[in-house]
Amino acid sequence: MTNSETEPLRPVVWHAHNPPQRVPGTVRYLDQTRLPGEVVYIETDQLDELCRAIRELQVRGAPAIGITAAMALAANLQHGPDETAELMQQLELSAEKLAATRPTAVNLFWALERMRRRGKECRLLPPESFKEELALEACRIRDEDAATCVAIGRHGAALLKDGDTVLTHCNAGALATAETGTALAPVYQAHTDGKRIAVIADETRPLLQGARLTAWELIRGDIEVTLICDNMAAQVMREGRVNAVFTGADRIAANGDTANKIGTYGLALLANAHKVPFYICAPFSTIDMQTPDGSQIPIEQRAPEEVTAFAGARTAPEGVKVYNPAFDVTPAALISAIVTEHGIIRGDLKSGIAAARQ
Ligand code: MRU
């Protein structure tokens, strides 16, 4: 299925077969591995397919992973037995499978926990109502994320002035969320407010989310974007071309240390060396109060082939050893502020996060 350029980008939605009833329904997601060449949507209610879609980055970006997982649980329940107690067991088993797809983005675990909690609240309902309620909860998670993006956009746009250039890494835009993104939400909002904002997008090796996804969605959104290779960021900053760095986050520890796409830590060091403000934009669901600091954040290790080949063509010799961590951790001390849906956390991030969570 192809999409028209004018439709809003919706990386993942619940497609109800008989609205307003949510059940039966399917999960409809944009296959991001085919961008920018093709815009292809896939519809499925199969848990294993959705687990694979998350693992292989057909859907990616922390909030979108959480939304997809919630919808995958709801879709899978439709094939479940006619006993609510058994549906609850199925929910648990499916949640375990989804939890094993990607370890770093905490939004995945947050969304699974929320669905489990809703399951417990609905345990006395008849099976059909139980399925409907869980589908509704998944849709609520999506809708709330859309509102969160708008709020992050409003708070973050206040940090941008007319004529600014923002450097960003990976993709933390519409393709990673239910609406305008996290790191890109302030850019879209400032643009809507009439400010001239330009973006420099890091290509983001090895899977090129910056080149394939961020550049694509910003061009589509009529935002000026310039693509650079990751190793050009220092030069671009020294030339004074960057007013601020905005990135997303996959997990923020209680002390403000932040895991995001590999390369983010290096950018934070460069930004500090060049006195460029470095902002993390993320919803509260990305803050993990159970993780005291960044050393406790699990870092996803991905296949060597992502580094030794691209689009099926080898770019390194056979037999070479590869290290391929998908994320790194930026220490809180290098982060100027965290932009959330509830406002901007500055200064001592640990106490700022603790105060904001109350
Ligand atoms: O491996 P990916 O493409 O899922 O990594 C995505 C990122 O690192 C994003 O910056 C992060 O998830 C924030 S998305 C709003």
CA of 18 to the centre of ligand 1 (A): 33
Test site for ligand 1: of 29, 31, 250, 264, most ligand atoms within 8 A of the Cβ:
250
Domain ranges of the chain: 12-148, 150-357
> What mean pLDDT comes out for the span 213-218?
98
Highest CATH level, class, for 150-357: alpha beta
Q: For residue 85, what pLDDT is reported?
A: 98
> What mean pLDDT comes out for the span 329-355?
97
Q: Beta strands 258-261 and 251-253: pairing type?
A: antiparallel
Judge whether 253 and 288 are in contact, CB under 8 Å.
yes
Whole-prediction pTM: 0.96
Whose Cα sits closest to atom 6 in ligand 1? 61
> What mean pLDDT comes out for the span 191-212?
98
Q: Does 75 score more than 80 pLDDT?
A: yes
Tell which CATH classification among 3.40.50.12170, 3.10.580.10, 1.20.120.420, 3.40.190.10 matches the domain 12-148: 1.20.120.420
Residue pLDDT, tens place only, 104-149: 999 999 999 999 999 999 999 999 999 999 999 999 999 999 999 9
CA of 341 to the centre of ligand 1 (A): 18
Q: Rounded distance, CA 330 to CA 307, Å?
A: 22
Q: For residue 5, what pLDDT is reported?
A: 59
What are the residue numbers of the active site? 250
Test site for ligand 1: of 29, 56, 58, 60, most ligand atoms within 8 A of the Cβ:
60
Q: Is residue 331 very low, low, confident or very high in pLDDT (cuts 50, 70, 90)?
A: very high
Same fold, 12-148 and 150-357: no
